[in-house]
A and B are shown apart, each in its own frame.
Chain A
Amino acid sequence: MAKIIVVTSGKGGVGKTTTSAAIATGLAMRGYKTVVIDFDVGLRNLDLVMGCERRVVYDFVNVINEESNLKQALIKDKRIANLFVLPASQTRDKEALTKEGVGRVLEELRESFDYIVCDSPAGIEKGALMALYYADEAIIVTNPEISSVRDSDRILGILQSKSIRAEQDLEPVKEYLLLSRYDPERVNRGEMLSVGDVEEILAIPLLGVIPESKAVLKASNQGIPVIHDAESDAGQAYADSVDRFLGKDLPHRFLEVQKKGLLKRMFGG
């Protein structure tokens, strides 16, 4: 029986799609059969980040409307076995995502997958509500910045009241904090909220801290999820996060300023 994970945040541009792609790829790399679904109807982008944009034929809404079956719509990843992408529809209206339709597709996916990763759109409209409704676990992507933290808290409230687990009085959705775009140097200068600050305010377990990294833009430019870039700090931080998600107890890395050479320290840069 598959676990449904929603990657959500409330605020846009914090790294939900980057995270969905990295976490789903990481789970598949570790041998779990994983599908990642784009819930952002009308603003499809997961396909670009996963590098499969030219192979989209059918989409999530086609499957919901029974215009195609799941097998036709699922795109098999070129790099990792056991990894599939279900793209969002680009043209249809947002009302296409119904509770019944989404539920039916997720039920069918549950039969053959270990993990279903739902990439939520920003906001708290229909698409975002549908992405989190059936979730067993939630990864809240947050930037160390006030509007992002506030929106994350709002999304936590919605998870606790509007998910199927809340409605049916089941065990609550398991929540994890993933802090992204973290810059230890700015934290040291007192210009940026620290991991501790954000943890204290949101009060949910910390899954990982992804440092601000050039590797993220490079990865999306290339359409290769950043977790493949094992040399990069962001890639390693995502790999750690996946291992923690699977129960490993790892120390958090990249929280301190990387040591610079003497010249750099004297003249900046």
Chain B
Amino acid sequence: MSFFEIFKNTKKDASASMAKERLQIIVAHERATRDGPDYLPALQRDILEVVRRYISINPEDVAVNFDSLDDYAILELNVTLPETAPAQE
């Protein structure tokens, strides 16, 4: 750092931490879909469609996770409902 740069607030544009945060999220997401079976994206689409018949939700409100353990696998479905879900009669 040169003499004149001392006066600049260098931490202000510390973009590396932003890069790390974004990477952690995208990499975790891509690993989750990579390790699972091929039908997961299609399953996610279908669930979204079914839930949408009753409640209005966004694509990101449905999370599908697949965990493979030694002798069994867990398929985890998470649907986040909006706080004021209008029930469609």
Interface residue ranges, A against B (CB under 8 Å): 145-146, 149-150, 153-154, 157, 161, 187, 189-194, 197, 200-201, 265-269
Contact = CB atoms under 8 A, between A and B. Distances in A.
A268 B27 contact: no
A149 B23 contact: yes
Contacts of A269: 2
B16 A266 contact: no
B37 to A, nearest CB: 12
B88 interface: no
The interface residues of chain B, by DSSP majority, are classed as helix
Interface string B6-23: 000011011111011011
Contacts of B17: 190
A157 B34 contact: yes
27 contacts: A146-B22, A146-B23, A149-B23, A150-B27, A150-B30, A153-B31, A154-B30, A157-B30, A157-B31, A190-B10, A190-B13, A190-B16, A190-B17, A192-B16, A193-B20, A194-B16, A197-B16, A197-B19, A201-B24, A201-B27, A265-B1, A266-B2, A267-B2, A268-B2, A268-B3, A268-B4, A268-B5
Contacts of B22: 146
B75 interface: no
Given A153-B27, A153-B30, 17 more contacts: A146-B19, A146-B22, A149-B23, A149-B27, A157-B31, A187-B16, A190-B11, A191-B13, A193-B19, A194-B16, A197-B16, A200-B20, A201-B23, A201-B27, A265-B2, A268-B4, A268-B5
B26 interface: yes
Nearest to B27: A153
Contacts of A200: 20
A197 B27 contact: no
A146 B24 CA distance: 10
Given A146-B22, A149-B23, A189 B2 contact: no
A265 B31 CA distance: 44
B34 to A, nearest CB: 5
Interface residues on B, range: 20 to 34
A34 to B, nearest CB: 33
Nearest to B4: A268
Contacts of A157: 30-31, 34-35
Contacts of B20: 193, 197, 200-201
A149 B20 CA distance: 10
A258 B34 CA distance: 41
Contacts of B27: 149-150, 153, 201
Given A265-B2, A267-B3, A193 B16 contact: yes
